[in-house]
Amino acid sequence: MATREGSNPEVHNVWSPPPTREWRTNRVKKALGEGKCATTLYGVGTPEMVDFMGQFGFEGIWLEMEHSPPVLTLNDIGNMSRACDLWGISSVCRVPNDPWVIQRVLDAGADGVAVPHVRNKAEAEAVVRAAKYGPIGRRGDYVGRQGVGVADPRTKSNEQTSVILFIEEVEGIKNFDEILTVDNVDAYFIGAGDLSQDMGLAGQRYHPDVQKIVDECIAKCVAAGKVAGCLVNDDDVGDYIEKGARYFQMGWQSWVSRGAMGYLAKVAERMG
């Protein structure tokens, strides 16, 4: 092969120095792979919040790019995921089913993606294709932040990047059996809120008809050897564990609300 005068044919890529470290373990993926529960904390909007909440032992921090507050931008993902890295917590980013966005958040350092509104098998396959390098998928061939200094980063990324699918419409429920056949998915999150709206029961996530479908989907996941996920609170997380769900999302707001109201109630009581 002809080379430019003075060039070194052994140097093919200046972005690939000798490996210096191992890929960081994805705690969410590890816990689920071992049949344990994985908890992700919702509503964390700054690296400083990650710094504080990291001490408590959550497997993951939820990076939100769909709902508010807070809706993060692509520029936020790098620093938020770095803060997670410092505590050894996984960062899971909710993004639209768009290959460009999925690739960008993973390149920036997110450990996994959660994609809402997956309605059929083809949409589920598109998520996996965007999140994984070949031969599994077709993620753009670039070593993201998590792969810097790691030997064979593409293989490691395929092993460590988590993929979570949100099933939250009637169409997705109808196609759930087929969606469950898609490989390289870590959890199937049953979104009761959007599902209730699509069923004509907006705002009634705990309606018996909605909960019946959620329970049926969890049972299907368990029977298929797959992981079910859902939004939980202090009162119902134990019930969902008993039903077989293992991936959980919860916000910190209810804890603050209870503490704040309890404090103010004590002040009011003492003041008569």
Active site members: 67
* Interacting residues of 184 by C-beta distance below 8 A, sequence separation 6+: 128, 132, 136, 137, 163
Quote the CA–CA distance of 5 and 25 in Å, as a whole number.
Answer: 43
151: its two tokens = 């030997």
Which residues lie across from 189 on neighbouring strands? 166, 229
Q: Which amino acid is at 180?
A: L
- 């996941």: which residue's tokens? 221
Quote the CA–CA distance of 26 and 34 in Å, as a whole number.
Answer: 12
11: its two tokens = 């140097």
Quote the CA–CA distance of 150 and 165 in Å, as a whole number.
Answer: 28
Quote the CA–CA distance of 53 and 218 in Å, as a whole number.
Answer: 29
Q: How far is CA 23 from the centre of its chain?
A: 18
Element (H, E) at 63: strand 60-64
* Interacting residues of 14 by C-beta distance below 8 A, sequence separation 6+: none
Contact 111, 143 (CB under 8 A): no
Element (H, E) at 231: strand 228-231
